[in-house]
Amino acid sequence: EVQLVESGGGLVQPGGSLRLSCAASGFTVSSNYMSWVRQAPGKGLEWVSVIYSGGSTYYADSVKGRFTISRDNSKNTLYLQMNSLRAEDTAVYYCAGADYFDYWGQGTLVTVSS
Amino acid sequence: QSALTQPASVSGSPGQSITISCTGTSSDVGSYNLVSWYQQHPGKAPKLMIYEVSKRPSGVSNRFSGSKSGNTASLTISGLQAEDEADYYCCSYAGSSTFWVFGGGTKLTVL
């Protein structure tokens, strides 16, 4: 059974940083597309970033230059380093695995507020 | 404002069929057969229901079907059941600079 478990969310001040983690089991992070998708409170889904099996990374314009996606193959874990956070980054962040976001974690809430 | 346009809400009675539309442009829905649909119950993670316009993942009921015509994709749910009440989101690949775009979501109410 595939399980994706996010962690690392919390309250952070504008301009601050946070690193999210997504630990996978029953699923190999390095062999699959892995994405981060976020959902602002009461709003829809927004794709944030993807890392391909070959290591290429891509970002939504809204986070480009501020967020970095990476993975640790030995830990089978996906990361999202978020810098220069803004109020509009407040959302539940989901990691999603495979080509069509086949598998999702339970999400971790990031709140950017002073 | 979401890149793909969905109706805010639809409703139907148990046993009936409903269709949710998802309108994009020639840069996303119209260019790629890479439309997917997700079901999300309150407080839960999204669940993949349809991929590549009309394919169902293993375990998804055949009451769910997808189609596409031009720049508009559609999700049809037949034989509505109370458990189908949820939010539904469409998603399309939009090329190698934008990547993935979602619709704003449609709230399905089973009357």
Q: What are A18-72's pLDDT values in tens digits?
A: 999 999 999 999 999 999 999 999 999 999 999 999 999 999 999 999 999 999 9
Q: Which of B99, B101, B106, B107 to mutate to test the interface with A (most CBs of A within 10 A)?
A: B99
Which residue does chain B place closest to A43, by CA atoms? B104
B44 token code pair: 């839960």
Q: Which of A38, A45, A49 to mutate to test the interface with B (most CBs of B within 10 A)?
A: A45
Mean pLDDT, contiguous 10-residue spans, chain B (111 residues): 89 97 96 97 97 97 97 98 98 93 97 93
B50, B9, B4, B34: which is closest to B95 by C-alpha? B34
Show the CA angle centred on residue B46, arms to residues B40 and B50, nearest 5°. Answer: 95
Please, are residues B94 and B101 in contact by the beta-carbon 8 Å criterion? yes
Q: Which chain B residues have a beta carbon less than 8 Å from that of A37?
A: 46
Counting Cα atoms < 13 Å in the Cβ hemisphere of B86 gives 21
Q: Which chain B residues have a beta carbon less than 8 Å from that of A33?
A: none
B88, B48, B25: which is closest to A35 by C-alpha? B48
